[in-house]
Every structure is written in structure tokens, then in C-alpha cells.
């Protein structure tokens, strides 16, 4: 069996693909790559067409060896790549020979990098996805964060593959002093106090250290709703959830599937990935947009990605 052995697994590495569909009513979060564009870029670089999974690495720092020759690419947050301690150019496809050591250093910016290996990882599918949900203990290699000395099975197709015309540099890192998160107002928007909505739309917030795959907590003016809880309803990605303490939390891929806190709206998918790649301290502002504007942004991005990746 072809395998990749992790000598050093990093602080919060997980196997992720596009995530799950149809599991929300059962209480299972969709999971999936926090930066779907970076995942897709790597898949296209290696000619992966079946939604192959990658290792999502938070803040870099992993070391691995492969049992067989393979091609690999690192996408997402730009990190230094060393092969047998020799620096390799970033943002290109590398050949890793059997027994050679791959080292991925800390990224210079952003949070999540993605290690793709030709053929993809051959871990078990759970509800048709290889994504890891650590809270539920499902997916990935053993349901949790990858650990030092883990041995990950590679698919038989793993070999040195042809190069494809794709841009490995595509990802969602925002090099902006203030990152604007566009959001679609929900039905509670009109029920919340106008003064609160005004603060949400006009003031600046900051990403805190409480940022992970479940959600990103922001610091800023307190948004006191005076509402303890509402009838539980489905949460969606990007939902701006306001708990009683007034610090908004933007819900991400491993969110709890039901929630009862006030939610003025939800950040559009495109900007969720930008928020995922933002480090603590990043300044944030919110901008309400119509659903039609959100659709236009999606179509433009879809077109751009297809142009850059093919």
C-alpha cells in the first residue's frame, strides 16, 4: 500500500475535501476545506477530478515522507517547501521520491495551507466525504486531528503525474488593512435595533484568537441584542451569530448545525474563505449586500476561477 507518513503533523491538521451534503438534520456539520478555492487550485494542478482530499494545515510546520514517488503541490497560505532540506520553489508542482522528506514551514501570511498528493488520500468515505469532523469524531484518518507518526494511505493512482495548466497560487488571502465582509441580511435584520445594525455596518471589528474551523469570534463594539435565545433553527455558513455577551461569531465549516442566537445576516461564501485565512488582529468591516449582488459575485468568481484553472 502506498502511504504518506507524518513525522510531524502540525498543530491542527485535518484531511479535508469539499465537505458533506445532506447531513445537517442529523446534526453533522458539513466540514470541508476552509479555503475551497485553494483546495480546488491544488486539485486542478494534479489533475484531480473526483473531489480528492488534501491535508489542511493550520499555520504550517509539518514533515512527511512518502513510501512511493509522487507529485505534490502546496496551495493556500504560502509556506516554504523543503525537500530533503533543500528549498524548493513555492507555488509549483514538486516531485517527492520514495523516502525523501518533505518539510512545509510556517506560512508568511494567511492561516490554512493545503498539501495535495497525486492520486489523493485513500481514507474511508463517511457520508460520501473524506472530510474530518473532529467534534463528531468522523472522517479523515481516525476522526480527529492528524498526529505525529500517522500513516495516511494514498490511492493507488499516486505517482508522478503530468503537469496541468493551473495556478497553484489561487487562494483567499486578503492583503488589506481592513477586510470587508459582505453579508446577506436575514429576516432578523429588521427586528434588531437600528442602532445595533448601524454599529454592525459602520464600525470596525477585529479577528480574535478564538478563531477555528467552528467559527471566528470578533472583537469590537459590543452588539447587545437583549435577546438570550430564540427558537432553534438551522445555522448557515457565515451566519453572524450574536451571543448575549455581544461579541459576534461568524460561523464556519464545523459550526453547530442548529442555533438560537440572534443572527442579523450571513457572510457570503466567497468572503467566508477570506475570513478563514485572516489572522488574529485582522481588522474587519461588514457591508450588507442584496442576494442578487451575492449571486453576481459568485458568478464572476466562478468564471475567473475556471479561466485561471483550465
Residues near other proteins (CB under 8 A) are 21-28, 30, 126, 135-138, 184-187, 231-234, 236-239, 256-258, 265-269, 291, 294-295, 298, 302
Dihedral (Cα; 11, 12, 17, 22), 10-degree rounding: 170
Could you tell me the smallest distance in angstroms from the CB atom of residue 228 to other proteins? 9
Could you tell me the smallest distance in angstroms from the CB atom of residue 298 to other proteins? 6
Kindly tell me which of 102 and 276 has the beta carbon lying closer to other proteins: 276
How many other CB atoms are there within 10 angstroms of residue 230's CB atom?
A: 14
Kindly tell me which of 81 and 138 has the beta carbon lying closer to other proteins: 138
Could you tell me the smallest distance in angstroms from the CB atom of residue 238 to other proteins? 5
Could you tell me the smallest distance in angstroms from the CB atom of residue 43 to other proteins? 17
Kindly tell me which of 154 and 250 has the beta carbon lying closer to other proteins: 250
Between CA 196 and CA 216 the distance in angstroms is 20
For residue 94, the cross-strand partners are: 72
Could you tell me the smallest distance in angstroms from the CB atom of residue 20 to other proteins? 9
Between CA 46 and CA 44 the distance in angstroms is 5
Dihedral (Cα; 10, 5, 79, 161), 10-degree rounding: -150
Kindly tell me which of 1 and 234 has the beta carbon lying closer to other proteins: 234
Between CA 132 and CA 196 the distance in angstroms is 36
Could you tell me the smallest distance in angstroms from the CB atom of residue 21 to other proteins? 5
Kindly tell me which of 177 and 231 has the beta carbon lying closer to other proteins: 231
Kindly tell me which of 47 and 143 has the beta carbon lying closer to other proteins: 143
Amino acid at each position: 500500500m502506498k502511504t504518506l507518513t507524518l513525522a510531524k503533523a502540525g498543530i491542527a491538521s485535518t484531511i479535508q475535501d469539499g465537505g458533506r451534503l445532506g447531513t445537517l438534520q442529523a446534526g453533522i456539520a458539513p466540514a470541508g476545506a476552509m479555503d475551497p478555492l485553494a483546495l480546488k487550485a491544488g486539485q486542478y494542478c494534479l489533475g484531480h477530478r473526483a473531489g480528492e482530499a488534501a491535508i489542511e494545515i493550520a499555520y504550517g510546520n509539518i514533515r512527511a515522507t512518502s513510501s512511493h514517488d509522487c507529485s505534490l503541490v502546496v496551495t493556500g497560505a504560502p509556506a516554504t517547501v523543503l525537500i530533503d532540506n533543500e528549498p524548493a520553489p513555492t507555488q509549483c508542482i514538486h516531485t517527492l521520491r520514495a523516502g525523501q522528506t518533505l518539510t512545509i514551514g510556517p506560512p508568511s501570511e494567511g492561516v490554512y495551507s493545503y498539501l495535495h498528493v497525486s492520486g489523493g488520500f485513500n481514507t474511508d468515505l463517511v457520508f460520501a466525504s473524506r472530510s474530518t469532523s473532529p467534534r463528531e469524531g468522523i472522517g479523515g484518518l481516525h476522526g480527529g486531528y492528524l498526529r505525529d507518526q500517522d500513516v495516511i494511505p494514498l490511492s493507488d493512482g499516486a505517482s508522478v503525474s503530468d503537469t496541468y495548466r493551473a495556478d497553484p497560487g489561487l487562494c483567499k488571502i486578503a492583503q488589506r488593512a481592513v477586510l470587508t465582509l459582505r453579508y446577506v441580511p436575514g429576516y432578523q435584520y429588521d427586528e434588531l435595533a437600528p442602532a445595533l445594525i448601524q454599529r454592525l455596518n459602520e464600525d470596525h471589528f477585529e479577528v480574535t484568537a478564538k478563531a477555528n474551523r467552528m467559527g471566528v469570534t470578533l472583537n469590537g463594539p459590543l452588539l447587545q441584542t437583549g435577546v438570550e435565545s430564540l427558537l432553534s433553527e438551522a445555522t448557515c455558513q457565515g451566519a453572524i451569530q450574536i451571543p448575549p455577551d455581544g461579541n459576534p461569531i461568524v460561523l464556519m465549516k464545523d459550526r453547530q448545525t442548529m442555533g438560537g442566537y440572534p443572527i442579523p445576516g450571513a457572510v457570503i461564501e466567497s468572503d467566508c474563505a477570506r475570513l478563514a485565512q485572516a489572522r488574529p488582529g485582522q481588522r474587519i468591516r461588514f457591508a450588507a449586500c442584496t442576494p442578487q449582488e451575492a449571486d453576481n459575485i459568485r458568478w464572476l468568481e466562478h468564471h475567473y476561477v475556471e479561466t485561471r484553472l483550465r
